[in-house]
Structure 1
Amino acid sequence: MRPRLSRSLVSVMLASAITLTGCSTAADGDTRSGQPRAGGTLRLGLDYDPVCLDPQQSALGQSLDIGRQVVDSLTDQDPRTGKTVPWLATSWKSDKRATRFTFTLRPEVTFSDGEPLDAKALKANFDAVHRLAAASSRGAVYLSGYRETRIDGPLTATVIFSTPNAQFLRGTSTVSLGLLSPRSLARTPQERCTGEIRGTGPFTLGTYRANTSVTLNRRPGYDWGSPLWARPGGAYLKSVEYRVVPENTTRSGSLSSGQLDVATAVAPQDTERFTGGGFALLRRTGPGVGLALYVNSARPALSDVRVRRALQKGIDREAIAATFLSSPKLAASSVLSSTTPDYTDLGTHLGHDPAGAKRLLDAAGWRPGPDGIRVKDGEQLRLDAVFVRQQSLELVQQQLKEIGVRLELRPLTISRFPQVLGSGKYDLSLQSANRADPDVLTTVFADQSPVSDRALRADLNRASASADDAERERIFGLAQTRLVDDAHVLPLNEVEVTVARSDRVHGLGLDASNRLLLQDTWIG
């Protein structure tokens, strides 16, 4: 029966989450055009290779979108209200300190390799994520302070933490804490990355050809979907083919010519062509940390808060949003996007003030050199920014040059990017982090980025540990202000993720973290 009532590297700004508006689990709500039909293969274009298909290890949006079809979660999060609802767990309870969480599992659920979902399997999953540690890009953060999972009965288990962990329950709705079969967990991390994983989800992994394609197949007998889905039983689609098409123009052209049914990460200049005429364009601002330059304040020049604040004032966010997104309204107004719970509007703190920026640099001892680039102790104020997709950085480069800062752009491959972040040998990094929870601030700025303010990191950890909603909101609000005012992060713009689809495609959906959902999708 359907339940009555969902220290590691953060995801880089590569993720092409497919998002859209609608009424039920953010589905596109166009089933009025006909009755749903079973069968068919959905051809979906990705802008990047998923690299690692194991959602417990990967933080890349493409991988998590695929994993969401294969792996179910203990709970789900309503994208409209933020409320946590049952899924594979029919019920749960926690102590007042948020150190113990007891889950009762839905009976008769199986992994696609035939193993049962029971308390032993639940324990095996949380133990495995804990062992992965830094290799678990997000799951290990949700399990901060994990001590053990105690088996209380065949379908009941208690997850125990040594310190309060209020973010854990909401984390159980994410695909990063989605459940894999014990046989999958026995595989090596590399084997799991290449597709040796089995979940309880409505699809199973078929083939993975690196940098080319990933296929999924409908799982027969599936009947335990999230209560937020329109269809709790098996998927309509017979199969899904993800095709890796990095070039924006090629991906859009493939949709126009009928070679693809869905194209993700549609470029702003291509949006008009998919409004009508047999296509539909779907948009939604993603929750979490928007597109931003994370500041490595361990670097000599950036250890001076006056330099960091000058960079903050030197950036014209409205010009960036107007130029690259065709909408000044998407200019960043905080470190969190406006769709994230507990977002604090800091738009007045992020105004473009080049004169103020120059005064700060003067006060910090950086004087204009012959070519306009500032100099101190014989060294130019030269910074580098690492990125995988540079997006608006050329304009940022021009804006910072106006205040006397030379910004050098250093492109990296997907695999090289986390290595450079781990080495600390960079000044700025272009990233974002998609998550419908203010705890993303703790994940990014307390656990991962080199924020120099220890008190700020401690406050973020305290907010994530607190079970008091009002206290969490207060601390996260103050933290957003300090992150911006002390320029530990340079917000650029909100991320309006887009997808274009043929009007033959119906029922696309996404979860609260903007992970693509294909359970209700059908081809007319």
Structure 2
Amino acid sequence: MHDIAFAWPPGQLTADPRLAHNGISKTYARQVFENLVDIDPVTAQLRPWLASAWSRPDPLTVELTIAPCGRFSDGVRLTADLVRNSFCDIMTDLAGSTPLPSAVAALTGLSAVESRGETVVFRFERHNAAFLHSLAGVNLAVSKPSAGDMRLGTGAWVPVDAGCLANGRDRLQFYAGYDGLADVRAGATGGFLTAEIHNPGISYGLCPNVSRGALADPRIRRALSLLIDRERLRPILQSCGYSGASSVLTPTALHHLDCSAQLRHDPATARWLLDAAGAEGLRFEVVFNSSFSPIDAELLAAVADQWGDHGIELAVCDVDFGELRSRQQTGAYDFRFFYYTAIDPDALRYQFAVDQRNAMCRTERDHLDDLLDAQLHCADPTERRKLVHDIQRRIIHDGLWLPIGNVRTVVSHRPDSVSRLALDAEGLARFTHL
């Protein structure tokens, strides 16, 4: 048995694909569980996986034909009935879960799942424009229950121990840390081969809690964005292959809009907005965990210096996972600093809508929520694109997201242990050649 050690700094491995939310959990789940469809990471086009074909006979119906070759790790053949059960389990098991799982958000509007021969039929109360792209995400991977809380997948790898997978020839061990003996690592490593992807989704940025103090005033939020000189941040970003953000969505996400003009460095306008708001003695805190990126602490320190030049204090608070999760759930922060990888712009609704994750802690529904709902339910691709563009403009105008950079995921691997490795559209490593 060939052992492969995969070192990934953030811990908190979650084995259930439906609840996997961090990089190591999603990468682990990706080896065990497969999806109905896949996405080409270069072209963003859908391609077959467990389903051999799919169609939308009408805006409220999606039909997928299940390929005959799939089997779960216990030898049970994959059928349309079992696919139906997998999705019914999501709607039943995760109902009421907090924070809201992306698997639940992706099924917005779903009223029924049916099996008809080897075809699975998804019926919606309202059109879900993101659904087919969502089907490719690891959180909607096909699974079935097993003993205890375990779920089985149809992938080549099978769990054999805590954080350890096997495929009959190789063992893949996930663990937290930077052990020099690791065969695969997050990030670039000298002498290793690398796979990389410029992440689609929401850019790396500052997310304000608009329910707290001065951040409730959109003039102050907008001023804070205008006080960021993003050009001066570029060398820090480029040091690990990131680029400067030009919008809420990254350039590799569907329907990205270049909003560089809105993100200009404009201290004069910022000062006018702060004076109009009567803002004095502003002090904020940003919470983050430095394991997610090698440069986030440096970036935030640079932003703090820039705001400090204008008498605004930003305390940079690097917290552990437990505290970060607690603060996210309770809203105990002024700013969070994060990014989110997803090919479809419905990621905006999932993270920002009042009735979804609501990362901004908005207190009541407004026109932004109407736009976020409208883009999901819009069946016309051209009109949906316009809606997503309007959403990005509005979020930046109202200071609801302060974009900083576009993330690049890099995974390095020792060539004598893992000769080839690829990253998918979610930035997840795939060991399909072993």
1:378 is matched with none
Alpha-carbon contact 1:319-1:328 (below 8 Å) kept: no
Deviates more, 1:467-476 or 1:66-75: 467-476
Query: Which residue of 2 is the match for residue 91 of structure 1?
Result: 53
1:212-269 deviation digits (Å, cap 9, x = unpaired): xx221015xxxxxxxxxxxxxxxxx622122311xxxx45xx1xxxx12222134xxx
Matching of residue 288 in structure 1 with residue 212 in structure 2: no
Counterpart for residue 370 of structure 1: none
Cα offsets for 1:94-131 (capped at 9, x unmatched): 2332x221222122422112333222211221112123
Please state if 1:473 is matched with 2:385.
yes
Percent sequence identity over aligned pairs: 29
Q: CA deviation at 1:50?
A: 3.8
1:77-100: CA deviation from partner (whole Å, max 9, x where unpaired): 111221112211122222332x22
Task: Give the Cα separation in 1 of the matches to 2:129 and 2:328.
Answer: 28
Secondary structure of 1:51 counterpart: coil
Q: Provide the C-alpha distance between the structure 1 equivalents of 2:322 and 2:234, rounded to a whole number of angstroms.
A: 28
Is 2:141 the partner of 1:178?
yes
From the superposition, tell whether residues 495 and 479 of structure 1 become closer, same or farther in structure 2 (CA, over 3 Å).
same
Q: Of residues 177, 185, 200 in structure 1, which corresponds to 2:154? A: 200
**1:104 partnered with 2:61:** no
> Which residue of 303, 313, 332 corresponds with 2:216?
303
**Preserved contact between residue 148 and residue 160 of structure 1 (Cα < 8 Å):** yes
Which stretch shows the higher mean deviation, 302-311 or 458-467?
Answer: 458-467
Among candidates 318, 330, 339, match of residue 231 of structure 2: 318
Q: Quick one: distance in 2 between partners of 1:110 and 1:323?
A: 47
The residue that corresponds to 2:116 in the other structure is 152
Cα-to-partner distance string for 1:156-213 (whole Å, 9 max, x where unaligned) = 22112222112111111111100112436xx4xxx3xxxx2310001111211xxxxx
> Using the alignment, how far apart are the partners of 2:30 and 2:10 within structure 1?
17
C-alpha distance in 1 between matches for 2:35 and 2:406: 28
Structure 1 pair 327–359 and aligned structure 2 pair: CA distance change class (3 A): farther
Equivalent in 263, 266, 280 of residue 185 of structure 2: 263
1:365 is matched with which residue?
278
SS of 1:441's partner is: helix
Gaps of 5+ in 2: 291-295
Partner of 2:408 in structure 1? Answer: 496
How far apart, in 2, do the equivalents of 1:360 and 1:476 lie? 27
Aligned to 2:293: none
Aligned pair count reads 419
**Aligned residue number for residue 420 of structure 1:** 327
Cα distance in structure 1, aligned partners of 2:331 and 2:387: 28
Equivalent in the alignment of 1:459: 371
1:436 aligns with 2:340: no
Q: Normalising by the residue count of structure 2, what TM-score does the alignment of the two structures yield? A: 0.90
Q: 1:280 to 1:516 in 2, by over 3 A?
A: closer
- Is 1:45 the counterpart of 2:13? The answer is no
Please tell me whether the aligned partners of residues 113 and 181 of structure 1 are also in contact (alpha carbons under 8 angstroms). Answer: no
Which of 155, 163, 166 does residue 217 from structure 1 map onto? 166
RMSD: 2.1
What's the counterpart of residue 512 of structure 1? 425
Task: Report Cα offsets for 1:9-30 as digits up to 9, x if no partner.
Answer: xxxxxxxxxxxxxxxxxxxxxx
CA distance in 2 between counterparts of 1:58 and 1:238 reads: 23
1:389-408 deviation per Cα after TM superposition (whole angstroms, max 9, x unaligned): 25322222222222222222
Note if 1:382 corresponds to 2:345: no
Cα distance in 1 for partners of 2:145, 2:409 equals 35
Instruction: Decide whether the 8 Å contact of 1:321 with 1:327 is kept in 2.
Output: no
Q: With structure 1 as the length reference, what TM-score do the two structures score?
A: 0.75
Structure 2 residue aligned with 1:27:
none
Contact kept, 8 Å, 2:413 with 2:421, in 1: the verdict is no
Amino acid across the alignment from 1:423 = T
Q: Which amino acid aligns with 1:488?
A: L
74-83 vs 43-52, greater mean Cα deviation: 43-52
Task: Tell me how far 1:333 sits from its aligned partner.
Answer: 1.0
Note the C-alpha offset of 1:487: 1.0
Residue 348 of structure 1: how far off its partner (Å): 2.0
Q: 2:101 aligns with which of 128, 132, 137?
A: 137
Distance in 2 (alpha carbons) for counterparts of 1:409 and 1:144: 36
d(CA) in 2 for partners of 1:386, 1:329: 21
Corresponding residue SS for 1:425:
coil
Change (3 A) 1:86 1:491: same
The letter of the residue matching 1:150 is E
* Alignment CA distance shift 1:328-1:404 (3 Å): farther
Contact preservation (8 Å) 2:195, 2:422 = no
Distance in 1 separating the partners of 2:32 and 2:39 = 18
Q: What SS does the aligned partner of 2:44 have?
A: coil
Paired with 1:398 and 1:454, the residues of 2 have a C-alpha distance of 34
1:240 corresponds to which letter in structure 2? L
| 8 Å CA contact retained: 1:331, 1:492 | yes
- Residue type of the partner of 2:349? T
Runs of 4+ in 1 over 6 A off after TM superposition: none
The SS at the match of 1:503 is: coil
Bigger Cα displacement from structure 2, 169-178 vs 77-86: 77-86
Describe the shift of the 1:327–1:262 C-alpha distance in structure 2 as closer, same or farther (beyond 3 A). Answer: closer
CA contact (8 A) 2:237 2:243 kept: no
Aligned-pair CA distance for 1:361? 0.8
* CA–CA separation in structure 2 for the residues paired with 1:445 and 1:82: 23
Distance 2:311 2:58 in 1: 53
| Partners of 1:321 and 1:328 within 8 A in 2 | no
Post-superposition Cα deviations, 1:112-154, rounded to whole Å, max 9, x if no partner, equal: 123332222112211121230335621111101222212223x
Q: Which amino acid aligns with 1:63?
A: S
DSSP-derived class of the 2:175 partner: strand
- Farther-moved stretch of structure 1 (326-335 vs 508-517): 326-335
